[in-house]
Amino acid sequence: MKKKSFFAVLAMIAILVTSCGGGGGKYFKKPLSLKPVKITVVNESSDMISGLNETLSKYSIAGYIEIIDGTYSMIPINDGRTYQIDIKVKSIQKANKGDEFEISESGYTPGGTGLYLVDNVGTIIEEWGGVGQFDLMNKDVLKDFLYSGEGECLLRFENDAYPYEKYVKTPEVIAGFLIKTSAYNKTASGEGTSVTDTSVPASGGDKWDILISSYESLMKQYFKLIRDDYAKQTDIDAVVNKSSDIKTQLNDAQNNMSQAQWVRFVDLEKKWEADLEKFMNE
């Protein structure tokens, strides 16, 4: 069989999902008790957000909140296709009234805030590609809490069940969870516009990092949709089209990227192709 192009495979999978449905209902359907492996929120300062590491570290919201130690439940919802975890946090620093924060729901983009499961040797489970990240579902609640700094705040995180299927069969391998963030105080850092707006990319090499991160986030969204029994074909098509546009920009920009940026993009392509092949063989 000839090897199909990446987006040809995407299109074929979209048709399969529409005609046959996903694998809903085959995952773990019981609550699982978890404790934080650390109560401090971890600042995300990876090379994926090149050029912003100093800003993210110095003005991270990790300095504003802390996880309240205790036992939490990973609860199956949507007939076991999705997991939900509600976590309580407390304030350790109150934000100024005029501060503006960069907070997004998911992904390795500036502002991304997510929860990750950790195994017994301290390794984050299924982190590569973002598939292991529980997305923050109520970012506006978090923003309001940063200003109030009073009482407790309940943060809700959700993710698809499929990345954890093999782990929940032997839950003793899951040691707990941690929360990572690249959200930060934009006002304190002196920024005037959101760095997550990829319609007007940042100047220089940083814009390619942002576009690659956007591409990665879109593909994570795509995998969620194709595994959702109730996903609309129009939503799948929209993600595929947007991903294709960004991919074209990145391919055309090979000579303008650094070697590290190009390698990151190529590695992502290989990762998605492997994941697609795995999905088709399930």
Contact 64, 93 (CB under 8 A): yes
Give mean pLDDT, residues 185-212.
57
Q: Which backbone phi and psi does 60 adopt, to 5 degrees? A: -60, 145
Percent with pLDDT over 90 in the chain: 25
Quote the domain boundaries for residue 264.
205-280
Which DSSP category does 122 fall into? Answer: S
Average pLDDT over residues 40-47: 72
State whether 160 and 276 are in the same domain: no
Instruction: For residues 257-278, give the mean pLDDT.
Output: 83
Range 2-12 average pLDDT: 46
The mean of the pLDDT values for the chain is 77
SS3 93: coil
Same domain, yes or no: 78 and 159:
yes
Per-residue pLDDT band for 195 (boundaries 50, 70, 90) equals very low
Q: pLDDT tens digits, residue range 141-190?
A: 999 999 998 889 999 999 988 888 888 888 899 999 999 988 888 887 66
In a domain, 267, yes or no: yes
Identify which of 32, 76, 77, 42 has the alpha carbon closest to the alpha carbon of residue 176. Answer: 32
For residue 68, name the pLDDT band (cuts at 50, 70, 90): very high
pLDDT at 105: 67
Contacts of 28 (CB under 8 A, 6+ apart): 76, 80, 161, 164, 165, 168, 169
Q: How many structural domains is the chain composed of?
A: 2
The verdict on 224 and 136 lying in the same domain is: no
Would you say residue 246 has pLDDT above 70? yes
Q: What are phi and psi of 84, to 5 degrees?
A: -130, 135
> What does the pLDDT read at residue 71?
97
Nearest to 85 by CA among 74, 70, 77: 74
Q: Which of 104, 108, 22 is nearest to 61 (CA)?
A: 104
Question: Residue 126: CB partners within 8 Å, gap ≥ 6?
Answer: 117, 132, 163, 164
Amino acid at 259: Q
Verify that 132 and 246 share a domain, yes or no.
no
What's the average model confidence in pLDDT over 191-220? 59
Confidence check: pLDDT of 264 > 90: no
